[in-house]
A and B are shown apart, each in its own frame.
Chain A
Amino acid sequence: MSNLIRTRKPGHALQQPFYIDPEFFKVDMELIWYRDWLFVGHDCEVKKPGNYFTVQVGAYPVVVVRDREGRIRAFHNTCRHRGSRVCTSAKGGSARLVCPYHQWTYDLDGKLLFARQVADDFDPAAHSLKPVACESVGGYIFICLASEPADFAPFRQVMAPYFAPHRLTEAKIAHEETTIEKGNWKLVWENNRECYHCAANHPELCKTYSEAPTMTGVSGTDSDPEMVEHWTRCEAAGLPSRFNIDAAGQYRATRAPLLPGTESYTMTGKRAVRPNLSDQVNTDRIGSLMLFHYPTTWNHVMIDHAVTFRVIPISAEETALTTKWLVHKDAVEGVDYDLQELTHVWTATNHEDRRIVEENAFGIRSPAYEPGPYSQVHEGGTEQFVDWYVSFMASRLGGQKKPGLKDVA
């Protein structure tokens, strides 16, 4: 892998093994997925003490739970007795985490409270569930499987002000959907990071989302007068908006306008939900707050709802994409919004993207595949993602040459 990274042609897609080789996949998991902060779900999915959800990251089953003090915690979902998964459903609520195998009972803070008929010298304190680093910011829960997680504070500092006004902590999930895309996780990202493909593939999304490269991409945004006007107007209304990207390129937040006369990702461009998503945000034409954080999430927050995405790799050639639609906690389905209308655009778009990713993966499997050049106009975002990936991997593989990041700021 080091070799291929060293000899990669800048501005080009990656070589075939990055997308199909199980050995390369293992290295991705070890060096990125088992080491970095990963978005797993929302605070509002674990509203009350005892609410939990589970997530599988590579080999690691993890459970995220709200404890009695209201703190969100994550644990390795493997019993300290003989290893059974403790929480077996995708979501649930339970006063205690009880292993289904022999009922070892853990408190919501992971402490072992009860184990039936164990040895006299058994020390329950030495058998707590193993904790996983867990942070929440702006209504998003992140975990990190590393024993020494990277500092979360810089990301928190960037993200929190953008998201705080939208109060996603107290929203409600109106709908969620997981699709399995038969393609490497990087293909899912590469596709997401450009809108070069939008015109031909996304008739629904194109009703409201501008194909301008400054929307999706990472360069030239500052010099787009429409963008600057949007930021100035939204910031005057107290909504942080300006394009902001991490020096290493791992995350970026920006607020972009939707097409003139549209407010939300619907077929009509009109809002899908009657109450505003946040009681605190009442400004017209705020467009969409967009955040990406590699390797797990991209997001859109509009005036009436938010759509969030979570990428989780399954194998070298399979990726799970979970999409969630968030609305005001008091919004009532069938009264304040029509679920079909709310979810139509992104359900269709996801479907189209899945097809694209799978076709892309198909072609890459060909021995004749050879990485081609990115469009300098339209594919700056994709190139930035691949640069980030390559540079992360290179530094972690101990590669001497750190491939130069494209100037992204």
Chain B
Amino acid sequence: MTDPGAHIPLDEMKPWNDRLQLLEVIGIADEAPEVKTFTFRADARTWFRYQPGQFITLELPRTEGVLMRTYTLASSPSRPFAIAVTVKAQPTSVGTRWMFDHLKLGDRIKAFGPAGRFTHCAHPASKYLFLSGGSGVTPMMSMLRWFQDCAPATDVAFVHCAHRPEDIIFRKELELLDGRMPRLALSFMVHERSKRDCWSGHVGRIDAARLKLFAPDLHEREVFCCGPEPFMAVVRELLGAAGFDMRHYQQESFGAPVLEDVPAPQSATSEEAGGSPAEGATPVLFALSAVEAECPPGQTILQTARACGVRIASACESGLCGTCKVRKLSGDVTMNDNGGILDEEIDEGFILACCSHPRGKVEIEA
């Protein structure tokens, strides 16, 4: 293996191969209370190929059993030699808590991906509106970092909501970006002030009046929204009421629903980073295999199946190709597909396992 400090030109390097290469922890940094950034690399001859906003799945080798956890990359592919995830440990977090307690510099873990369609690359536009809540900031950060490096004149209105001022992840870096990117309009909003940090910005929750203030030309923008489900529900409602064309609305999928009052929202596609205090694991029964498994908050049915040795065919793992289509025999799921399934198939009880999260006990024909 080459020396981590060695510099090798990009064109002499190869992209990371998730089948063959582990990730090595090269940085752990505090971002906010209970929020850390973990930085990984493969080796000095490897770079990472992804689109800003995509996610990665980490395989966390707990002694009680392997956990698969999905985290949005906060890093930018414009700095391709390392990747980073920024995660928040909630009181109920299992995976993220494990990372906080066990991952040390130099540790090596297995990972898969990156994947996902929550990226401006998949929805190019002349202007963007980013709306994030809590650790839903991570995909936005990735896209903004990329814009800063590669397209600093991009027009982005960015509204980030957090519980208290000190919970704003990446606050300093965002303020710095705001100064450097002429057409970035940054707004923060907190639910409550705190004694620790003085605050002169917006207080409260996002509403129609504020949305208009943040983005008067809303209808010309491609909207990206990421945060806890209640936050996204409010945003969808506001957009709907404003007559926004929802074909230009993109949101990052979340695991289990989160209570409105949970201060810090979870990270994209993962309950783990944000965690939801009210949620525990959900029972999932794989009928043909006669296996009863537990789906930890934020895990997909496909991940749960894998963790307990039930084989469900998959390919894209992003709700696109339909390979992981299985019949749901009972129960409810939240499915965030990317068009890989027909409405009739949904009516017939099929789901895409790779992008479905159980809502209460479910039974799957697999």
Contact = CB atoms under 8 A, between A and B. Distances in A.
Interface of A: 48-50, 93-96, 98, 102-103, 105, 107, 113-114, 116-117, 120
Interface in B312-336: 315-316, 318, 320-323
B50 to A, nearest CB: 12
B315 A95 contact: no
Contacts of B344: 48, 93
B342 A103 contact: no
B316 A95 contact: no
A50 B15 CA distance: 35
A96 B342 CA distance: 9
B25 to A, nearest CB: 24
B2 to A, nearest CB: 20
B193 to A, nearest CB: 46
B49 interface: yes
A96 B15 contact: no
Contacts of B99: none
A96 B15 CA distance: 28
Nearest to B17: A117
B341 interface: yes
Interface of B: 15, 17, 49, 315-316, 318, 320-323, 339-342, 344-345
B49 A95 contact: no
Given A105-B320, A120-B49, A96 B315 contact: no
Contacts, number: 48
A102 B314 CA distance: 10
Contact of A98 (B15, B322, B345): B322
A105 B342 CA distance: 15
B110 to A, nearest CB: 16
A94 B342 contact: yes
A188 to B, nearest CB: 37
Contacts of A48: 342, 344
Contacts of A102: 315
A98 B323 contact: yes
A94 B345 CA distance: 9
A242 B316 CA distance: 56
Given A103-B315, A120-B49, A95 B323 contact: no
A130 B156 CA distance: 38
Contact of B316 (A93, A103, A120): A103
B316 A105 contact: yes
14 contacts: A94-B322, A95-B339, A95-B340, A95-B345, A96-B321, A96-B339, A103-B321, A105-B315, A105-B316, A107-B339, A113-B321, A114-B315, A114-B316, A117-B17
A95 B348 CA distance: 14
A208 B318 CA distance: 58
A50 B316 contact: no
Task: Name A's interface SS.
Answer: loop
A128 to B, nearest CB: 16
A103 B339 CA distance: 15
Contacts of A98: 315, 321-323
A121 to B, nearest CB: 11
Nearest to B14: A120
Contacts of B15: 120
Contacts of A95: 322, 339-342, 345
A173 to B, nearest CB: 18
A120 B316 CA distance: 17
B45 to A, nearest CB: 14
A49 B345 CA distance: 12
B324 to A, nearest CB: 10
A214 B198 CA distance: 96
A59 to B, nearest CB: 28
Contacts of B321: 96, 98, 103, 105, 113-114
A174 B323 CA distance: 32
A94 B344 CA distance: 10
Contacts of A114: 315-316, 318, 320-321
B340 to A, nearest CB: 5
Contacts of B345: 93, 95
B49 A96 contact: no
A68 to B, nearest CB: 8
B357 to A, nearest CB: 20
Nearest to A68: B339
A265 B318 CA distance: 53
A373 to B, nearest CB: 57
Contacts of B316: 103, 105, 114, 116
B315 A116 contact: yes
Contacts of B340: 95-96, 105
B319 to A, nearest CB: 10
Contacts of B323: 98, 103
A48 B345 CA distance: 12
A271 B363 CA distance: 50
A7 B340 CA distance: 59
A98 B344 CA distance: 17
Contacts of A49: 342
Contacts of A120: 15, 49
Given A95-B342, A98-B322, A105-B316, 8 more contacts: A93-B345, A95-B339, A96-B339, A98-B321, A102-B315, A103-B321, A103-B323, A113-B320
A105 B318 CA distance: 12
- Among all A-B residue pairs, the 6 with the closest Cβ atoms: A103-B315, A105-B321, A114-B316, A95-B342, A50-B342, A95-B341
